[in-house]
Amino acid sequence: MPTASARHASALAAIAATLALTSGAVAIAGTGGPASGDPLAAIPGQLTATRVVTRRPPVIRINVPGVGRILATTHRMALYTYLPEHADHKVHCIGTCAAAWPPLGIARGVRIASRVSGLTGTFGIIRRPNGAIQLTRNGLPLYRFAADSPGSVSGNGIGGFRVVHG
């Protein structure tokens, strides 16, 4: 049986190891944290419990002359759906397609409100093949067109993409 001093030394070693791991995690997390002031955001995800936040989708309705009311990002970038995805509601726009038609991404851990006052349709999310989370409306993944400018719909009808009316 270990002596009292050996047990004491073993306990101190365990405490020191725990402190070393904790300080290493704090060093990895950084010291300043984000500008938002959220102390948990600076800690790596594997060290914190999952936080689920419900938010309004980052979508608004705008009026485009000659097109009508469409859905757009909060930066007035038109949103599109991809016709091949209408059949099975799965992501088919990947690789070079996704470079030209960037998916409307959602941060992990954010839950999207399915209904939004003033907007038609049901919002949700889908996991892309690369693991990223993408916003959907009525089960269809939403995209922007890289060549668009705010308030324009220059991608409408190109390569099977259609602007989302709302």
Q: What is the pLDDT of residue 111?
A: 87
Buried b (16+ CB within 10 A) or exposed e, 32-43: eeeeeeeeeeeb
Residue 50 CB-half CA count within 13 A: 6
pLDDT in tens, 30-56: 333 344 444 444 444 444 444 556 677
Q: Which pLDDT tens digit goes with each residue over 117-150?
A: 889 899 999 999 999 999 999 999 999 999 999 9
Q: What is the pTM of this model?
A: 0.68
Confidence check: pLDDT of 15 > 90: no
Q: Which helix (H) or strand (E) holds 13?
A: helix 4-29
Give the rounded distance of the alpha carbon of 54 from its chain centre. 12
On the 0-12 / 13-18 / 19+ scale of CB atoms within 10 A, 97 is: middle
pLDDT for position 136:
96
Q: What is the pLDDT of residue 53?
A: 61
Report DSSP state, residue 165. B
Confidence of residue 109 (pLDDT cuts 50, 70, 90): confident
Higher-confidence residue of 69 and 2: namely 69
Question: Does the pLDDT value for residue 84 go beyond 90?
Answer: yes
Residue 13 has pLDDT above 50, yes or no: no
pLDDT at position 3:
54
- Provide the pLDDT confidence category of residue 166 given band limits of 50, 70 and 90: confident
Q: Where are the beta strands (DSSP E) in the chain?
A: 53-55, 59-64, 68-73, 80-82, 105-106, 110-112, 123-127, 133-137, 140-141, 161-163
